[in-house]
Amino acid sequence: RKEVEQDPGPFNVPEGATVAFNCTYSNSASQSFFWYRQDCRKEPKLLMSVYSSGNEDGRFTAQLNRASQYISLLIRDSKLSDSATYLCVVQKAGTALIFGKGTTLSVSS
Amino acid sequence: DAGVTQSPTHLIKTRGQQVTLRCSPKSGHDTVSWYQQALGQGPQFIFQYYEEEERQRGNFPDRFSGHQFPNYSSELNVNALLLGDSALYLCASSLVRDTSYEQYFGPGTRLTVT
């Protein structure tokens, strides 16, 4: 079983749609959780950290359920510029980032 | 504030050859991690360097080796290249004292092995 599993996608949505990505992780010792965004042929960039209480950054909302070992990302009012691959990432304290395979989002007009 | 830089940006090598990739961390950072990202996959951790020593290693063969210099920059060396080594190689830097553990990625080196 992979350490981090994500919805395979791709997700094709119209502008203005709400889209949700799901992710599960296998290592209960994981302490830090992130969503990274990666544009085609570019490096991953941190989108947001994910906290147990849930957190929001503009149109983006991240949720963490430690009991279920489940992470989610909700994007509201999708924009064309949201088209990218979204990577779910977990980490034990101070150690390597463990990435999921990524879910590709394509937003069309 | 200089970000993470990597060189070269692209590289084409033949099977069996050796390659060296270079990384300069973000200003103020002291830890460098290397990742391999094959097409259609998420990045996979290769190893991490801090204080010029390999501190953690992922599931990669000994053909993959590295080095960190006193100025915190780092090299990744791959010997006896295989076709399967073709990938985007990403360097990420961080500060060991930063409890957020945030890592900043460089633009990567795209290696093609023919």
- Separation CA B61–CA A53 (nearest Å): 40
- pLDDT attached to residue A82: 98
Residue A81 is classified by DSSP as: G
Q: Do A32 and B101 touch (CB under 8 A)?
A: yes
What percentage of chain B carries pLDDT values higher than 70?
96
- pLDDT tens digit sequence for B27-55: 999 999 999 999 999 999 999 999 999 99
- Give A23-40 pLDDT, tens digit per residue: 999 988 888 899 999 999
- Rounded CA separation B74/B110 (Å): 17
Instruction: Single out the residue of A89, A83, A74 nearest to residue A105, CA to CA.
Output: A83
> CB-CB: which of B43, B48, B106 is closest to A99?
B43
**Chain A residues touching chain B at CB-CB below 8 Å:** 4, 32, 41-46, 49, 87, 91, 93-102
Distance in Å, alpha carbon of B108 to nearest chain A alpha carbon: 6
What is the C-alpha to C-alpha distance for residues B34 and B90, in angstroms, rounded to an integer? 6
